[in-house]
């Protein structure tokens, strides 16, 4: 039993003196207790409490509603609560029936041994703590799985958005490449160079004409050499030159 749990035990017995005596045994354990004189009153108390009882100890032989019947009904209201049945040796059939129905976790006989009784109650409270811890871990795992699912969904959405953006960029790059290729084919580099030289005052128009003549003469000589090596004849001079 750990300190982090604030245990409250429900004790049900039609003999108040017996019920209070059992309650006093809870003090060394560090648990609080609530005493009820009948099964019906105990059921109403279970319904009205905001915090479930950690453990219920009920006497078997009570007027109106026997302990086994009461614990079977209590199980439906608070299924995680540990349930003990306190009975005499003559109630073997009732104990067997309650065990088979799953109404009780354990039974204790009258009269009881104080030390053994306390150890049995401690074990019951430890069992309740394990049940609560399992519930806590299950909720934690469920919450983490929900977060992981949400994160995975967001990543998939983000991946789709990025993929669309990349496809759009690739399309824009392809269109730009085509425009550049068309631009290179249609451009008149001779005119562009001439305009650039004139605008920059790097060469006067007369010098440009001289440059053109020199380039054409050089090209004509190269064509003459190619024609001679391949058995063709070309004029000795450029027509009009």
Residue 24 inside a domain? The answer is yes
Residue 204 inside a domain? The answer is yes
**Which tokens belong to 36?**
């009820």
Dihedral in degrees, nearest 10, Cα atoms 121, 123, 129, 135: -110
Instruction: Write down the pTM of the prediction.
Output: 0.59
Q: What's the pLDDT score for residue 78? A: 94
Q: Which of 112, 133, 154 is the last residue of a domain?
A: 133
pLDDT band of residue 191 (cuts 50, 70, 90) is: low
Q: Using one digit for the tens of pLDDT, what is the confidence trace for 79-128?
A: 999 999 988 765 667 777 777 666 788 888 888 889 999 999 999 999 99
Number of domains in the chain: 2
Q: Which of 90, 108, 133 is the last residue of a domain?
A: 133
Burial class of residue 169 (count of CB atoms within 10 Å of its CB; 0-12, 13-18, 19+) = exposed
Q: Which residues pair with 11 in a beta bridge?
A: 35, 57
Please give the residue range of the domain that contains residue 203. 188-229
Same-domain pairing of 114 and 198 = no
Q: Which residues lie closer than 8 Å to 74 by C-beta, 6 or more apart?
A: 42, 43, 46, 56, 58, 81, 83
């Amino acid at each position: 039993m750990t300190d982090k749990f604030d245990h409250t035990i429900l004790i049900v017995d039609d003999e108040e003196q017996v019920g209070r005596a059992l309650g006093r045994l809870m003090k060394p354990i560090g648990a609080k207790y609530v005493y009820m004189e009948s099964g019906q009153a105990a059921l109403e108390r279970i319904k009205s409490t905001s915090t479930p009882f950690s453990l219920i100890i009920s006497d078997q032989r009570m007027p109106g509603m026997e302990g086994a019947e009461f614990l079977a009904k209590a199980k439906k209201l608070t299924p995680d609560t540990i349930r003990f049945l306190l009975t005499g040796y003559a109630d073997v059939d009732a104990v067997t029936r309650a065990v088979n129905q799953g109404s009780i976790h354990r039974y204790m006989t009258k009269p009881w041994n104080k030390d053994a009784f306390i150890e049995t109650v401690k074990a019951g409270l430890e069992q309740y703590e394990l049940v609560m811890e399992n519930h806590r871990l299950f909720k934690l795992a469920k919450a983490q799985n929900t977060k992981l699912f949400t994160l995975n969904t967001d990543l998939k959405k983000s991946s789709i958005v990025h993929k669309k953006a990349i496809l759009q960029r690739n399309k824009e790059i392809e269109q730009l490449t085509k425009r550049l290729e068309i631009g290179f084919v249609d451009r008149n580099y001779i005119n562009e160079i001439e305009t650039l030289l004139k605008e920059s005052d790097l060469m006067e128009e007369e010098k440009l004409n001289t440059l053109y003549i020199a380039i054409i003469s050089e090209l004509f000589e190269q064509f003459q050499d190619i024609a001679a090596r391949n058995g063709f004849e070309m004029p000795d001079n450029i027509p009009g030159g």
